[in-house]
Structures are given as structure tokens and as C-alpha cells.
A and B are shown apart, each in its own frame.
Chain A
């Protein structure tokens, strides 16, 4: 890589600084979640016949007797120290529950992104290269199906085909050891196949669409005809096309990973995959607001940071900015 130039550095610095108010805003939204929910937040903790003194005591412990700005600052301060409160249902710290689950969600989302990116990139590339051929039409159809299919239903259909009818793969869970002991062996990986393949359909459709448009666009640019005129063979042209399409395609992949991390709740529910989505499902089902709030905060922060990384990576890969 070339030496970073001042323009690029200042862009990156501004981009990093810009993330601070966004993170603050995101945490404000997460804080507000508990307060838009109807009903007294203490109802689920206290027994119905709790005395007034006990109620007031609990209000003070949880800080509900303070004003909203005070509560927000207190909550934010604790969250920055890694304290997201305790789950109402299990009584355990939310932070450790989320941390346990995040690993499993990452395993699922990263695998799905890799499958989706590889297949989508391939389909999109072939479609863009042989534009308007039958391959193009097929790839376009696949990408439309990919973005239109309700993935939770696709997950059910996969379970019906491969678990119920064929009995090839397990339907739910993450293998022996449950949620805490993920290992990359067949014993565990067979549980990953169905949810990961189901999940990969979303980025596949979007990546295929993007790459197709990119490739078709690049092939129409003058430098390609220039390369061809110079007598460069198809394979050489191909390398140039890949080089030019890669930064955008990788950026799309990064964003898709973020969407999958945040949007995995439906697929994790279908497959009972012990990740953050499953945790969210439980939080909703049991109206465990601290757990809901904490999980959403962590996932949204992941998304913000991933967005930042994608932007920075894309800037440093952009040849126009590298030259200054």
C-alpha cells in the first residue's frame, strides 16, 4: 500500500469523529426504548402485593426516581463501564448474556456472509459479463428471489426438506454443549449448515445485483475498450474489472454482514440458534426490557462500527483518493 496522504487521513479522522454523535444518538434511542414501553418498569420485578416503601426503595435502586437526563447519563456511564443492568427473567448481568450470544451470532452471520458473497459475486459477475444472455436473466431472477423471499419462511422450508423429509441435517440448536461451546467440527457444523445457507440468501441477492451493475458499468467504460484495443486478452481485462469492482463489492459485503448481525433474530428463532437474535426473542416473549435494551444497544453499536470500518476501508482502497 502507498503512503496515506493528508486528504485521506483528514477524511478518515472526520469520519471517526462523526461516529461519536451517532453513537450517542443510538444509545439515546436504546435508552428511550424502556421508557416508551407501556406500564411500570418495576411491575415485572416486584410482587403485586409489594409495599409502597419497597416500591420506592426499588425505584431508587434502579434510579427511576430521577429525571430523564439524569437517568440517561447514569445509564450511559454504567453502559460505558460494561454494565448493562440485570436481566429481569434470569437475574444475570445482561452484558455477560449478550457477550455469550454475540459469538454464536458472529459464527452464523460471518459464515452466511461468506457463502452469500461468494455465490452472489459469482452470479453477478457472470451476469454482468455476459449481459442480456440467458445466464444474465437467470442470475437476475435468482437475485430478485433472494431479496423477495421471507427468509424465516425459507428457513422453515429448509427444515422441512432437509430435516423432516430427508433427515440429513438437524433442525434446531447449535449442537452438543449448547450455547457456550461452539467448535468447528462436523458434530457442531452440521447444525450451522441450514441456518447459514438460509441466511446467505439475502446478501447473495444484493451482492449479485450490485456486482452485475458494477461489472456491466466498468465494461462500458473507455479504459476497457482502450485495454482491448491495446490487444489485452479477455483474461487481462477480467483482472482489471475485478480490481475496479472489488472495493464497492467489499463495502456491500461489510454492510450486509452488519444487517445480518442485526437482522438475525428471525432466522435464529426458526432454528433456535443460541445467538443474540434468540436472546432478543426471549426478551420480547418475557418482556425482559433490560435484556432487550442491552442486546439492541450492542447490536446497533456493532453496526455503527462496521459502517465506520467499511467507509475507512473503502477510502483507503479507492485509487483516486490514494493519489490525492
Chain B
């Protein structure tokens, strides 16, 4: 009897999820803005992956006589930076570190935050109270301030930047995970699974995860845009990525002094940050409405 109830509930979730994902995909394809944003985002990722094949020059090779060449100089289609390095190549290579610094913290925070939130939500009681109150403390900082505080104390460096951004994104993700899990836990089929004798771990794995990961994931994707801006912002302040690496925030920082000489050249890296951030933002919006997640 116990086995049957569990199996039926199990089959029901699987069947539901297959049809569900197909309908999500169809709805997503109908959303033109989201599809365009997805294509731009995919293009940026491809650009990062294939940078050595696309970029016309080595992003670290400078030429003293080409310093701050204007946009459209022969051999330098987007000009050259303050050390005479090809701007186009640096923007292309910059996608690597910039995307890495923007996306990876959200991925790690998604894993940790979802685990914390689901555990707190499913276990409830004092575990929930203590976990959420501890997270409230980190939540009590504005995100920019917390990221700058941690990486400011740790000092510059890619790892320190990743660490501080991850710490910033864990509390909001855990909060969403906790609230979604708490609402799922009260549903009848969970009660049914509990009554049939399934273990907590099994209920979470088979019945809870499938219903909560979607909304948590959608929420996490909406943070990528923020993370991109923050990660580049850290490098812009001299934290995060250090020279001579090509990273858009750092490039903005070093080109800032050239603002009176080659103003529009100095603004170029920001265009890339903006493009990435807005395409991930709209992609996430499209994903949310296609998955019909309410927030």
C-alpha cells in the first residue's frame, strides 16, 4: 500500500514535468524579446569561448605609438587603449573574465543558497528560525556595500571577488528557496508521501526538488544581471580582476583617465557590460513568464 501511494505520486510528478517543460519552451519561443535576448546572451558566451579565434590581435600586446588611437584607426577598428592594445580584441577577450565573474558567483550561490533554503523550509521549526535569522543579518546590508566591504577587506583578486559576490547572493536565494519550500511542504501530496512512510531525504529528492528548483532557478537567473554589474563594478574600483587582464570593469577603470582625450573610446567597455546585463535581464524575465513563476 505504502509503496503504491509513493509510486503513484512519483509517476504523477514525472508526467507533469515533461509536459510542463515542453509548454514552457513553446511559450518562451513565442516571446520575441526573450528570444532576441537569449540570442545576444548566447552570442556573448560564444564570443567568450572562441575569443582566441575571433579576436584580431593579442589583447595583451601594446604599442607605445598607438596609445589611445581613435575608433576607426587602420588595424585598430575600435581604437587602442591607454597602453596601445587593440580595443576590439580586449573587448572580445574581456567577455571571458567578465562573464565568468558575473555568472559563477550566482551559480555557486544558487547551489548553496538553494540547499540552505530548502533544508530550512522543509525542516521548519527552530532550524528554520536560526538559519533565516542569521541570513537576515547579511540581508541587512545593501548588496553593493556588502560586496565592497568583503572584497575591500580581502583585497583585490579574482578569487576574493568571486567569494564576496557569492556571499552577497546566498541570502536572497536562500530566502526565496525557503519561502517556496515552505509553501510546497504544506501541500497534500507531501503529507501523503509522509503518511506512506517515505523518508525525509526521499520526499525532498522526489517530490520537493522538482517543484521548488524551477522558481529558485528563475530567481537566480534574475540575479545574473546584477552580478555582472557588481562584478565589473568591483574591478572598476580596483578590486576583483587586476591588470593587465582584459575585463570590462577594469578596462573602464584604466580608461577613465583618458576621458578627455578619447571620450567615446573610454566608454566602450561599459557598452559590453550594459549589453550583457540587459540581455540576461530580459532573458530571465522571459523565462519567468514562460515558466509562469509569480514573484
Q: Which residues of A contact B (CB under 8 A)?
A: 21-22, 25-26, 28-30, 33-34, 36-38, 144-145, 147-154, 156-157, 159-160, 164-165, 258-259, 261-263, 265-266, 269-270, 280-281, 283-285, 287, 289, 292, 296, 299-300, 303-304, 307
Contacts and interface: CB of A to CB of B under 8 A. Distances in A.
A156 B155 contact: no
A283 B152 contact: yes
A24 B84 CA distance: 51
Contacts of B229: 148, 150-151
B144 A262 contact: yes
Contacts of B70: none
Interface size class of B (residues with CB under 8 A): 35 or more
B153 A300 contact: no
Nearest to A296: B149
Most buried by B among A29, A152, A289: A152
Given A33-B153, A159-B259, A148 B277 contact: yes
A299 B145 contact: yes
Contacts of A263: 142-145
A38 B260 CA distance: 37
Nearest to A145: B278
A36 B153 contact: yes
A157 B141 contact: no
A153 B263 contact: no
A164 B259 contact: yes
Nearest to A137: B33
Interface of B: 133-134, 136-138, 140-145, 148-150, 152-155, 225, 229, 232-233, 236-239, 252, 256, 259-260, 263-264, 266-267, 269-271, 273-274, 277-278, 281-282, 285
A322 to B, nearest CB: 27
B118 to A, nearest CB: 23
Given A152-B236, A160-B267, A164-B259, A262 B150 contact: no
Contacts of A154: 270
A259 B278 CA distance: 20
B270 A153 contact: yes
A284 B148 contact: yes
A153 to B, nearest CB: 3
B145 A300 contact: yes
A150 B140 contact: no
B278 A33 contact: no
B107 to A, nearest CB: 20
A22 B236 contact: no
Contacts of B154: 36-38
Contacts of A152: 233, 236, 252, 270
A262 B168 CA distance: 14
A147 B252 contact: no
B142 A258 contact: yes
A284 B145 contact: no
Nearest to B139: A22
A144 B256 contact: no
A50 B192 CA distance: 71
A270 B237 CA distance: 10
Looking at A28, A150, A159, A307, which has the most chain B CB atoms within 10 Å of its CB?
A: A150
Closest 7 pairs (CB-CB, A-B): A153-B270, A262-B142, A25-B137, A263-B144, A262-B145, A148-B278, A160-B263
13 contacts: A38-B155, A144-B285, A148-B229, A149-B278, A153-B267, A153-B274, A160-B264, A258-B142, A259-B144, A262-B142, A262-B145, A280-B148, A299-B142
B222 to A, nearest CB: 10
B83 to A, nearest CB: 19
A52 B144 CA distance: 40
A7 B274 CA distance: 47
Contacts of B285: 144
A160 B243 CA distance: 24
B232 A150 contact: yes
A269 B264 contact: no
Contact of B281 (A29, A144, A270, A292): A144
A38 B150 CA distance: 12
Contact of B274 (A26, A30, A148, A307): A148
Given A34-B153, A156-B266, A284-B238, 12 more contacts: A22-B136, A33-B150, A145-B278, A151-B229, A160-B263, A164-B259, A164-B263, A259-B142, A263-B144, A265-B148, A269-B237, A303-B140
Contact of A29 (B138, B225, B252, B267): B138
B152 A266 contact: no
B139 to A, nearest CB: 9
A154 B274 CA distance: 9
Contacts of B225: 147-148
Contact of B233 (A165, A266, A303): A266
